[in-house]
Amino acid sequence: MSPEPKSQEQWSAVDEYVNGLVVRPDAALDQALASTAAAGMPAIAVSAAQGKLLHLYARMIGARRILEVGTLGGYSTIWMARALPADGRIISLEIDPRHAEVARTNLSRAGVDHLAEVRIGPALESLTKMAAEGEGRFDLVFIDADKANIPEYFTLSSKLLRPGGVIIVDNVVRNGGVLDGSGKDPNVAGVRRFNDLLATLPDVSATTVQTVGSKGYDGFTLAIVGG
Ligand code: SAH
Ligand code: DHB
Ligand code: MG
């Protein structure tokens, strides 16, 4: 019999075990996390196992163009950039110029700066501008910025997606907080508005998978839009 699932301590220990053998993050990724911490930025990047998951999803669909909402230090950006072909592109949107600066350094150190671009500004504005300028046909979108605006990011990035493209949204379970319908926590409220939206969209096929690991108990929503 396997032991009862227990605790954060155990989830982190299993993540560590898996990282060494299966995920195999490298020096550039470790350095991206270290420089993010050294800059006083929060330790909220995806875990190594989650980064590898994003990388594998991108490869599974043969993604050539990826859009990310929420860059931080570029950790998830590097994982996804590494899934791209030589002429691929990842554009990552970030509101904080300091974060963008750290991310650009990390992308360059990881040797993916020719594939990756960080655009500074509120993502609502950047996405609106991209749609107005006809920039589009992304294969994959990863939404991981402020949680209150998740539904708006989903709607705007849907317009930038190729038919049948994939949108992945981070932090949709929030330690089970998603069940709190009181509206007190604006992050949870954003996730719940997003789920209410998904329920109304016939051309979107989606699921939410709960996760545990070094980042606690949370989850991803995966959606295929149209096609
Ligand atoms: N995807 C990253 C983590 C992103 S953390 C990784 O896994 O490595 C969330 C980021 O979103 C932060 O850097 C924050 O500054 C940024 N952000 C918050 N609000 C935003 C907004 N309105 N527009 C764009 N970026 C925003
Ligand atoms: C937070 C944000 C994230 O994107 C995440 O993955 C974990 C935590 C936060 O703002 O607390
Ligand atoms: Mg996140």
Task: Output 6 or 64, whichever has higher pLDDT.
Answer: 64
Q: What is the separation, in whole angstroms, between the first and last Cα of the chain?
A: 44
94 lines ligand 2 (CB under 6 A): no
Q: Which residue's CA is minimally distant from atom 5 of ligand 1? A: 72
How does DSSP assign 163-201, residue by residue?
EEEEEEEE-SSGGGGGG-TT--SHHHHHHHHHHHHHHH-
Compute the distance from residue 15 Cα to the ligand 1 centre, in Å: 23
Compute the distance from residue 219 Cα to the ligand 1 centre, in Å: 17
Q: Which two tokens stand for residue 143?
A: 């939404």
Neighbours of 114 (CB within 10 A): 13
- Look up the CATH superfamily of 8-225: Vaccinia Virus protein VP39 (3.40.50.150)
Contact 103, 96 (CB under 8 A): no
Nearest residue to 224 (alpha-carbon basis) of 140, 172, 164, 160: 164
Supply the DSSP symbol for 44: -
Q: Which residue has the tokens 């006083």?
A: 40
**Which of 36, 72, 147, 157 most suits a substitution to test ligand 1, by most atoms within 8 Å of the C-beta?**
72
Q: Starting from the CA of residue 68, give the closest ligand.
A: 1
- Domain-by-domain residue ranges, the chain? 8-225
pLDDT digits (tens, 9 = 90+) for 46-69: 999 999 999 999 999 999 999 999
pLDDT digits (tens, 9 = 90+) for 93-132: 999 999 999 999 999 999 999 999 999 999 999 999 999 9
